[in-house]
Every structure is written in C-alpha cells, then in structure tokens.
Structure 1
Amino acid sequence: MSFSVFIVTFFTWLVLTWTIDPQEIIVGLIVSAVISVIFKRYYNIKLSAKFIPGLFKFVFVYIPVFIWEMLKANLDVASRVVEPKVKVKPGFVRIKTDLKGDVAKLTLANSVTLTPGTITVDIKDDELYIHWIEVKGTDEESKKSFYGVFERILKGVYE
C-alpha cells in the first residue's frame, strides 16, 4: 500500500462526504486503503513539504479567483447571446506556459476549458492550444491578460 496515495484518497473522501460520522470515516478508511493497494503501481504520488501550503493556496486563493473569472466569463458569454449584434471573433491561439509539471498544466488547461467562451484543444510540451470566442490579440500581453492570473497562482501551488 502506498501511504501517500492512501492519504490523498482519504482526504478526498473526507472533503467529498463532509461528515464526521464514525461509520462514514471507517468506510472512507477502508475504501482508501483498497484503492491505494489496487492503484499503487499506477500512481506515483509523493507528498512533499510543499503539499499542505500548496493545498491551502489552491483552496483559499486559486478556487475563489477561478470562480470570479468563471463568473465574469459567464456574464460575458450571456451578454453576447442576448445582444442583437453578435460580437465574436473566434479563433485558435497557441499559448506558451511557464508551468513545468503535468498536473499544473492540466489544471491550467481545465481551468481555461471550464471558463465559458474558451476551450483547450491540445497540450504539447509547454504549449496549450485554445479556442477563444473572441481573440483580442495574438501578442503575449493579450494572451497573458486572459490566463496569466491562473498561471501565477498555479505556479505558487505546484512549483
């Protein structure tokens, strides 16, 4: 059994069930143990000293910023739908990210995709290929204005 997989799985169980019922905790312990035994060879999760501070930064900094950006994007897309004159300039944009880890890049790609009006189509090495509902520019500054806030926080969380 991989202890780090067990800890991550059990913590996820606690967060998802959000209960202090002893029966739920026992079931969570058992399920986490079984999962960590089964998936030991597939997942190589290593907890480091940066895990807990990164987790707090993710929960208390990244998630609120992400929700705010998602709310703004929802309002933007909704306003485009109800306006009589359609304001769209769709296109694909290649974004170079400074994030190094695969999980950090995946989190950035998912955050972009979950923000209305954008979708991450592909990730190759350090580049994300994104479709935007309105491409405001292809220079680095206009791209950074969109995803830069996500990238800065994720860099602090994962690296």
Structure 2
Amino acid sequence: MSFSVFIVTFFTWLILTWTIDPQEVIVGLIVSFAVSLVFKKYYSIKFNRKFIPGLFKFLFVYVPVFIWEMLKANLDVASRVVEPKVKVKPGFVRIKTGLKGDVAKLTLANSITLTPGTITVDIKDDELYIHWIDVKGTDEESKKELYGKFERILKGVYE
C-alpha cells in the first residue's frame, strides 16, 4: 500500500461525501485502503515540504483568480454572441511556458481550456498550442494576457 495514495484518496472521499458520519468515514477508509492497494504501482504521489503551502496557495489564491478570469471570459464570449457586429479574430498561438513540471503544465493547459474563448490543442515540451477566439497579437506581451496570471501563480504552487 502506498500511504500517500491512501491519504489523497481518503481526503478526496471526505471532500466528495462532505459528511462526518462515522459509517461514511469507515467506508471511506476501507475504499481508500483498497484503492491504494490496487493503484500503488500506477501512482507515485510523494509529499514534500512544499505540498501543504502549495495546496493552500492553490485553493486560496489560484482558484479565486481562475474563477474571476473564467467569469470575465464568459461575459466576453456572451457579449460576442449577443452583439452581431463584434469582430473576432480567431487563430492559433504558441506560448512558451516557464513551468517545469508536467502537472503544472497540465493545470495551466486545463485552466486555459476551461476559460471560454480558448482551447489548448497540444503541449510539446515547454510550448502550448492554443486556439484563441480573439488573437490580440503574436508578440509575447499580447500572449501573456491569455495565460500570464495563471502561470505566475502556478509557478508558486508547483515549483
């Protein structure tokens, strides 16, 4: 059994059930134990000293920024749908990220994709290929508008 997988699975169980009923906790312990036995060779979750501060930064800094950016993007896309004369300039952009880890890059790519008006099409090494509903420019400053806030916070979370 992998203790790290057990802990992550059990806390996920607690969050999803959102109860402190003793029966639910016991079932969660049993299911988490079984899952950690079955998946121990597939998952190598390792906690380090940055895990807890990174988790708090993710929950209390990144998630609110992401929700705010997603709300702004929803309103932008909705206004483009409602107003027929709004011009769009769709296109693909390639951004080079400074994030090193695969999970950090995946989180950035998913955050971009979950923001309306954008979709991450591919990730190769340290580059993300994104379709953007309104390409403001191909220079780095224009592209930073798309992902800059996300990348800065994720660098502090994962690295």
Q: What is the TM-score of this pair, normalised by structure 1?
A: 0.98
1:12-50 residue CA offsets vs partner (Å, 9 max, x unmatched): 111111111111111111111111110100111101111
Provide the secondary structure at the position in 2 that maps to 1:79.
helix
Q: What corresponds to 2:122 in structure 1?
A: 122
Runs of 4+ in 1 over 4 A off after TM superposition: none
Q: Tell me, in whole angstroms, the C-alpha distance in 2 between the residues paired with 1:14 and 1:154.
A: 25
State the shift of 1:84 in Å.
2.1
Letter in 1 for 2:55: L
Aligned mates of 1:113, 1:73 — CA distance in 2: 11
For the pair 1:103 / 2:73, whether they are aligned, the reply is: no
Equivalent position SS for 1:44: coil
Q: Name the TM-score, length of structure 2 as normaliser.
A: 0.98
For residues 12-31 of structure 1, what are the structure 2 equivalents within 5 Å? 12-31=12-31
Query: For the residues of structure 2 that align with 1:17 and 1:158, how far apart are their CA atoms?
Result: 27
3-state SS, counterpart of residue 78 of structure 1: helix
Q: Percent identity?
A: 87
- Matches of residues 118-157 of structure 1 in structure 2 within 5 Å? 118-157=118-157
Gaps in structure 2 of 5+ consecutive residues: none
CA distance in 2, matches of 1:61, 1:19: 26
- Greater shift in the superposed pair: 66-75 or 43-52: 43-52
Amino acid in the other structure paired with 1:153: I
CA deviation after TM superposition for structure 1 residue 116, in Å: 0.1
Structure 1, unaligned runs of 5 or more: none
Q: Which amino acid aligns with 2:27?
A: V
In structure 2, how many angstroms separate the alpha carbons of the residues matched to 1:123 and 1:110?
A: 11
- Deviation larger for 118-127 or 21-30: 21-30
Hey, what's the Cα distance between the residues in 2 that align with 1:81 and 1:11? 41
